[in-house]
Chains A and B, each alone.
Chain A
Amino acid sequence: MKLKKFLWTLIKYITLILGSVISVLPVIVCVITAFKTPEEYATTNVMTLPASWFYVNNFIEAWQKANMGVAFRNSAIILVCVLFGSVLTGSMLAYVLNRFKFPGNGLIRSLFLFASLLPGIAMQVSVYQIMYSLGWINSLPGYIVLMCGTDVMSIYIFIQYFENIPTSLDESAIMDGCTYFGVFFRVLLPLLKPAVITVMILKGVGTYNEYYAANLYLQDKNRLVTVATSLFKFTGPLGNQYNYICAGVIITMIPALIIFVLCQKQIYSGLTQGAVKG
């Protein structure tokens, strides 16, 4: 019995360590390579540690080559606007769907549900034409508007939270002469904070990492590059200089890593909620 328990624990820890190693190894090797000088990169094995951990030239080169200063600025603008927009559209719609009864309520819910079945990549074929006719190719605001739409998952998360806020609160606010707009913005939105954070995290990760639409609609790579699309710079003639590429990859990962370390709990719970409801 004791032996069995011991073996069980052993297997448990071995698999955990193995899983963690496999998960981090590709990234660790990237970090190692990012600190190597070009000569070192050419002569030593990929798994050999760099001579100096203070050789940051690759990072500087990658930053300049991929135009990452502009990329981070653009990504920050996009992130702020998109998070603001999509939280607003999502929570407003959820408010109307949850608090008002009107014909078409169910229809709107099913419209969003159905939309989630449409494969996103495939839709870009015709979305491209719409963006083109709106003149929104190569326009940052255009891309932001495209990304601002809400999805069925955020709506579900918001509706779930609205259900837990008693309607008597709305009523008393109305009695006190508050308008329906006031009820939403002054009374309910502050109470919705946990849901807002959840949606922001889910949407934020998606937006920061989004590269397909960004590559398609923000074609002017000098002016409108984002963090995710800045890496495309390395696909051309730079395609096998992995010391620069790895440095670039590491730079793009740093913000995600910081956010992850800071709000680990919220990310986990946000994911769980989103998936269970969606």
Chain B
Amino acid sequence: MDCGARKDWNHSLTVRKRGNDMNTKRAPFNFIKWIQSGKVNRRLCMVTFMLAPLLLLLVFTYIPFLKMFQFSFYDMKYIGARKFVGLKNYSEVFSRKDCFQALKLSGYYIVAAFIQLAIALWFASVLSFKVKGGGLYKGFMFFPYLVCGIAVGFIFKFFYTRGFVLDTVLQWFGFNLDSLPYWLKDKSINNISIAATSVWRYMGQNMVLFIGAIMSVDSSLYEAAAIDGASGFNKFRYIIFPSIKTIIVLNMILAITGSLSVFEPPYVITNGEFGTGTYFVIMNKLAHVSQKVGLASAMAIVLFVLILFATLLQKAGEWYFLGIGDQEAIRTVRRQKKQNRQREADNR
């Protein structure tokens, strides 16, 4: 980085020299030449190249964010007068039955996400080695990821309808239709049914990620293990798992933050009815149906703080257990220091 910048400065110097040569010949001021001269051109390039991305970021991310923060203190609709209400919206988020309570549903999705990771890990470790028709299985299991969210909604509405696909399949296995629940209406099971659709959709993606990570492990390790006669499980335990630990942990953390902000599956399948409304589904309803923009903004800010907190916790945990980049993890460093100290004490 540093080095690159210095070289950069060097060639802008050479370009400037050339410009000076021209000045000594007293050439008339040439706008195009001036534009093309090193320093001006560099600045110009920087500004024009950054203008569009930063403008978009500002207009569609940071200004809305600040506005949302401001809205959260008002009682307002999209159009019409607004009234400053202080922290009333925030207290409402925590006291209303349908707002903060909805976060409890995240539990279903956290569990589902962890099951999804486990399944993905299993298939990834199977498919990373030679399997007959491996590409085909991989393709089948990955394809759901490419299906549009709303289409997934329809597919599963159909799938779970009384007497349709799932019920028929279960009847083949000897279940009685009357003993089966209504998958999307029965409050004791509908959240599980919906969480299962997100496992269906995203498992393949996780699997592909894990396969990528496993493939990047040095293949000579596997060869050595094969020579030593390691069993499949031992290969997983001692080679695969340690080398993809980081990506697994990363995905687990993503699963937690993702579960807090679940929106799509309940929105497209049940539209949040029958007690399946997650936090964001309810926020969406408040914002765009009943137009309680202030309350919805407060909900968004509260969840954002939660996500930020979870992310910071993750960073701290990562730093402590795994280390960042080339740095060693704090835990290992401490342990080594302790051992060193002990050794010194022993020597004495």
Q: Which A residues are within 8 Å of any B CB, using their own CB? A: 8, 12-13, 15-17, 19-20, 22-27, 29-30, 33, 45-47, 88-90, 92-93, 95-96, 99-102, 108, 111-112, 115, 117-119, 121-130, 132, 145-146, 148-150, 167-168, 171, 174-175, 179-181, 184, 205, 208-209, 211, 216, 227-229, 231-232, 234, 242, 245-246, 248-249, 252-253, 256-257, 259-260, 264, 268-269, 271-272, 275-276
Contacts and interface: CB of A to CB of B under 8 A. Distances in A.
A209 B145 CA distance: 10
Interface residues of B, number: 96
A119 B150 contact: no
Given A19-B140, A167-B7, A228-B149, 9 more contacts: A23-B204, A89-B56, A93-B50, A108-B50, A117-B304, A256-B146, A256-B148, A268-B208, A268-B212
Contacts of A111: 57, 62
B243 interface: no
Given A8-B232, A149-B53, A268-B208, A118 B65 contact: yes
B156 interface: yes
Contacts of A275: 209, 247
Q: Which of A8, A17, A132, A249 has the most CB of B within 10 A?
A: A249
B8 A101 contact: yes
B345 interface: no
Interface in B185-240: 200, 203-205, 208-209, 211-213, 232
Nearest to A17: B137
Interface in B58-84: 59-65, 67-68, 71, 78
A25 B165 contact: yes
A249 B155 contact: yes
A242 B287 CA distance: 31
A92 B204 contact: no
A242 B158 contact: yes
Interface stretch (B39-47, B100-108, B330-338): B39-47
Q: Which of B52, B261, B311 has the most CB of A within 10 A?
A: B52
A249 B154 contact: yes
Contacts of B2: 101
B54 interface: yes
Given A8-B232, A46-B164, A129-B78, A96 B49 contact: yes
Contact of B45 (A30, A179, A260): A179
B151 A249 contact: yes
Contacts of A29: 158-159, 165
Interface in B262-314: 263, 280, 283-284, 287-288, 293, 296-297, 299-300, 303-304, 307-308, 311
9 A-B pairs with the lowest CB-CB distances in the bound complex, closest first: A272-B212, A122-B300, A101-B5, A149-B56, A180-B45, A209-B148, A126-B64, A92-B49, A20-B140
A268 B159 CA distance: 28
Contact of B123 (A16, A121, A232, A248): A16
Contacts of B283: 121-122, 125
B321 interface: no
Contacts of A125: 64, 68, 71, 283, 287, 293, 296-297, 300
